[in-house]
């Protein structure tokens, strides 16, 4: 999301957290199946329709298509230089495409958010493997930085350190965020920062951590459709995301099996 949120988020009840745990498992199940479902020659619209069908099958709601967002698809599908928020189109996946899938679902009135990047039709190699590996590693570094009550700056430092080690461009104009009753809540969770900076996260808070990185520069642009955000220099990008719960001594990943 683009940076703009305030400092706090509404407290969550144990019932709401349990709903997010259940919703996160549903989202993770859909993603696990999607990775095997996507093939060369499939269109983005076909992938979107399949995802929407799976969401309904599991008794959840496609959050992007609700009045809260009004996105014309169940899932964001961003290819190659496209980073996030891309509309599902008639484009058919080609072998070697670097594709980002970003999904939010609502289950029992609570939202969970996750994203992954894959290379279509082949195992990642070379610079594509480097891009995906370091971006995903940075996500888990950010999660591992949570030791209980934690500043968002500590998460950002951990993410940025890994991306810098990989010599990747760090997308700074797009950030992670709080999540729960709404898809995007305070606080912002940037992919850079200073230790002890930002907002103090407390046990019971839920956030989406989502590193986005490129093989080129950090500048971004919004395409003419008003949704798609791409790298300004046309370089390949990657995006990984999990919804996590802050606990007394660490973090619980809600969007994994």
Would you list the domain boundaries of the chain? 14-253
Cα–Cα distance measured from residue 243 to residue 253, given in angstroms and rounded to the nearest whole number: 6
Cα–Cα distance measured from residue 250 to residue 243, given in angstroms and rounded to the nearest whole number: 14
pLDDT band at 11; cut points 50, 70, 90: confident
Indicate the SS3 state at residue 6. Answer: coil
Query: If you average pLDDT over every residue of the chain, what do you get?
Result: 96
What's residue 234's pLDDT?
98
What pLDDT digit, counting tens, does each position of 107-146 carry? 999 999 999 999 999 999 999 999 999 999 999 999 999 9
Q: Are strands 212-214 and 169-170 parallel, antiparallel or unpaired?
A: antiparallel
Cα–Cα distance measured from residue 148 to residue 27, given in angstroms and rounded to the nearest whole number: 25
Closest CA to 159 of 178, 177, 149, 144: 144
Cα–Cα distance measured from residue 195 to residue 192, given in angstroms and rounded to the nearest whole number: 10
What pLDDT digit, counting tens, does each position of 15-73 carry? 999 999 999 999 999 999 999 999 999 999 999 999 999 999 999 999 999 988 999 99
Predicted TM-score (pTM) of this structure: 0.95
Cα–Cα distance measured from residue 69 to residue 52, given in angstroms and rounded to the nearest whole number: 15
The angle formed by the CA atoms of residues 46, 115 and 15, to the nearest 5 degrees, is: 110
Fold of 14-253: Creatine Amidinohydrolase (3.90.230)
């Amino acid at each position: 999301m683009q940076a703009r949120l305030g400092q706090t988020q509404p407290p969550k009840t144990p019932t709401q957290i349990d709903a997010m745990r259940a919703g996160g498992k549903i989202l993770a199940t859909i993603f696990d199946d999607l990775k095997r479902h996507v093939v060369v020659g499939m269109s983005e619209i076909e992938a979107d329709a399949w995802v929407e069908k799976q969401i309904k099958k599991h008794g959840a709601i496609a959050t992007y298509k609700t009045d809260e967002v009004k996105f014309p698809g169940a899932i964001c599908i961003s290819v190659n230089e496209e980073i996030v928020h891309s509309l599902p189109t008639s484009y058919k996946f080609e072998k070697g495409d670097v594709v980002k899938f970003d999904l939010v679902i609502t289950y029992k009135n609570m939202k969970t958010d996750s994203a992954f990047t894959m290379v279509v039709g082949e195992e990642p190699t070379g610079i594509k493997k480097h891009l995906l590996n370091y971006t995903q590693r940075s996500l888990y570094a950010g999660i591992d930085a949570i030791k209980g009550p934690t500043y968002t700056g500590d998460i950002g430092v951990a993410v940025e350190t890994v991306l810098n080690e990989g010599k990747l461009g760090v997308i700074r104009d797009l950030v992670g965020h709080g999540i729960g009753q709404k898809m995007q809540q305070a606080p912002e969770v940037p992919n850079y920062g200073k230790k002890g900076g930002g907002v103090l996260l407390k046990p019971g808070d839920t956030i989406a951590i989502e590193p986005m990185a490129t093989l080129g520069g950090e500048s971004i642009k919004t395409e003419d459709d008003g949704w798609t955000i791409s790298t300004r220099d046309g370089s390949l990008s990657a995006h990984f995301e999990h919804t996590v719960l802050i606990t007394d001594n660490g973090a619980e990943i809600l969007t994994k099996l």
